[in-house]
């Protein structure tokens, strides 16, 4: 079933299906006013095949669809399922690339098993970057060989073609973020014999380089960060090893800090990136300067494999799902997300941050009405320092991500009805 109104994941233009442009398939039809001379021509079709495919002016059958505003290609699934936008922001070196790879990998593994929900790529070429990260970490042919952290996964670049598309607007080239697009759909199961497409979503995941939030007003007005206004879930990655006071706390307890990143001024002032993220979200959303957003904000505290000992044992992590009787006459068991465990963990971590990085808590809670604090480890293992190179290394075969999927599962539970089931231990049959 085609949506009445479609949202472009590149420029967020909302349009009706009949306005969709097609991408010419004949190799000689080149040149587009938005994408340049090398791009295939975009056009509104007037001729179709019996199967419904458009024919370009030289008679070639076309398969790709494009936005009528920015002319970038849109996967067909975006015309069938509503979008669910997620924005990820963090300081340079906070571990966003590692987090993305680990979170996507764990969602692929756990959503079908735990919740009978599939999590797949909508179109392979959209997710090449994160798939490459996943291959390095989880299907590495040299998985037994330790590799330097800065060689396994590359950091997000401000203007790299892997992260952005260039679109010509009013004669000027402007950057659009390249979203990662995933299909999130209920599967058929004994508990859900006829899954409803009403809960299906196309998850549009945006990753911004931290430098995008440390630049001047010209960059602040750029379309690169306008996805913040559309996001239902905002993830701010906070790296405590780059925070001076938290860094000293770890050192005082003889906890090794496995990082080659220098403690420069920008990294130490991560709350300014969070504040700028809040300001841009308000600006792009048309909110008052001091207003609180109703979006869910999760402060994702990375590298829990290092600072995890600061958490009390009951709040350190562990299984985040449990068995609960499904609300069916057959009384079958289903897996549910443990909200009590997540919220208790959040409260404990919030207290740690109040003691060591209060400005993060103040900035977060001054911006959003719903704030969750979640500690994650993208590696799940402490890196070791190579004696020869002095670099911090890890063998991919040892990587076991911890709680990286929890922020996204929580956001889906709170914003998409009947997709991710949740419960609390006191009402569960354990």
Note the pLDDT of residue 274. Answer: 94
H helices within 6-127, ranges in order?
Answer: 96-115
pLDDT band at 362 (very low <50, low <70, confident <90, very high): very high
Note the pLDDT of residue 192. Answer: 58
Structure tokens at 171: 């004669």
pLDDT at 121 over 90: yes
Structure tokens at 174: 């402007």
Side-chain half-sphere of 107: how many Cα atoms within 13 Å? 28
pLDDT at 137 over 90: yes
Q: Diameter of the chain by CA atoms? A: 72
pLDDT at 221 over 90: no
pLDDT digits (tens, 9 = 90+) for 30-77: 999 999 999 999 999 999 999 889 999 999 999 999 999 999 999 999
The pTM for the full model equals 0.91
Question: Residue for token digits 């996967």?
Answer: 75
Structure tokens at 256: 């090794």
The 422-423 sheet, strands edge to edge: 321-325, 333-338, 422-423
Pairing of strands 82-90, 117-121: unpaired
H helices within 166-323, ranges in order?
Answer: 217-220, 244-252, 265-268, 270-285, 304-307
The CA angle 367-369-372, to the nearest 5 degrees, is: 90
pLDDT digits (tens, 9 = 90+) for 299-328: 999 999 888 888 866 556 678 888 866 444
What is the mean predicted confidence (pLDDT) over 100-108? Answer: 97
CA-nearest of 157, 187, 202 to 175 is 157
Q: Using only C-alpha atoms, what is the Rg of the chain?
A: 23
Residue 187's H or E segment, with its range, is none
SS3 of residue 185 by DSSP? strand
Phi, psi values for residue 310, rounded to 5°: -75, -20
Cβ-contact 107, 113 below 8 angstroms: no
Checking phi first, is residue 193 left (phi over 0); if not, alpha (psi -120 to 50) or beta? Answer: alpha
pLDDT band at 269 (very low <50, low <70, confident <90, very high): confident
Q: How far is CA 384 from CA 144, 150, 376, in A?
A: 14, 13, 19
DSSP string, 289-330: TTPPEEEEEEEEE--HHHHGGGS-GGGS----EEEEE-SSTT
| Arithmetic mean of pLDDT over the chain | 87
């Amino acid at each position: 079933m085609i949506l009445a109104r479609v949202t472009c994941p590149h420029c967020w233009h909302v349009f009706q299906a009949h306005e969709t442009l097609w991408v010419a398939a004949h190799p000689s039809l080149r040149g587009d006013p938005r994408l340049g001379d090398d791009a295939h021509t975009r056009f509104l079709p007037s001729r179709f095949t019996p199967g419904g495919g458009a024919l370009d002016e030289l008679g070639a059958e076309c398969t790709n669809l494009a936005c009528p505003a920015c002319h970038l290609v849109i996967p067909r699934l975006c015309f069938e399922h509503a979008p669910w936008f997620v924005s990820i922001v963090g300081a340079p070196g906070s571990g966003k690339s590692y987090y993305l790879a680990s979170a996507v990998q764990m969602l692929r593994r756990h959503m079908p098993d735990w919740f009978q929900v599939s999590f797949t790529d909508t179109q392979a070429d959209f997710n090449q970057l994160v798939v490459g990260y996943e291959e390095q970490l989880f299907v590495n042919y040299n998985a037994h060989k330790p590799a330097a952290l800065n060689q396994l996964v590359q950091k997000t670049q401000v203007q790299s073609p892997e992260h952005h598309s260039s679109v010509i607007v009013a004669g000027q080239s402007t950057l659009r973020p390249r979203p990662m697009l995933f299909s999130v759909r209920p599967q058929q199961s004994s508990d859900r014999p006829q899954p409803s497409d009403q809960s299906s979503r196309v998850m549009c995941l945006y990753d911004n380089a931290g430098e995008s939030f440390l630049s001047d007003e010209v960059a602040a007005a750029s379309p690169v960060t306008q996805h913040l206004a559309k996001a239902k879930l905002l993830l701010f990655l906070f790296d405590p090893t780059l925070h001076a006071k938290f860094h000293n706390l770890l050192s005082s307890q003889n906890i090794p800090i496995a990082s080659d990143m220098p403690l420069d001024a920008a990294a130490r002032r991560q709350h300014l990136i969070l504040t700028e993220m809040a300001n841009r979200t308000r600006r792009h959303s048309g909110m008052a300067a001091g207003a609180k957003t109703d979006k869910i904000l999760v402060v994702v505290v990375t590298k829990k494999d290092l600072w995890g000992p600061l958490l009390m044992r009951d709040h350190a992590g562990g299984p985040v799902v449990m068995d609960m009787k499904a609300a069916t006459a057959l009384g079958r068991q289903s897996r549910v997300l443990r909200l009590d465990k997540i919220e208790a963990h959040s409260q404990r971590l919030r207290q740690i941050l109040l003691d060591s990085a209060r400005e993060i808590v103040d900035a977060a809670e001054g911006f959003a009405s719903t704030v969750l604090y979640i500690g994650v480890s993208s590696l799940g293992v402490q890196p070791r320092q190579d004696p020869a190179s002095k670099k911090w290394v890890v063998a991919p075969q040892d990587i076991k991500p911890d709680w990286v999927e929890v922020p996204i599962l929580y956001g889906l539970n709170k914003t998409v009805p009947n997709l991710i089931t949740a419960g609390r231990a006191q009402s569960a049959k354990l």
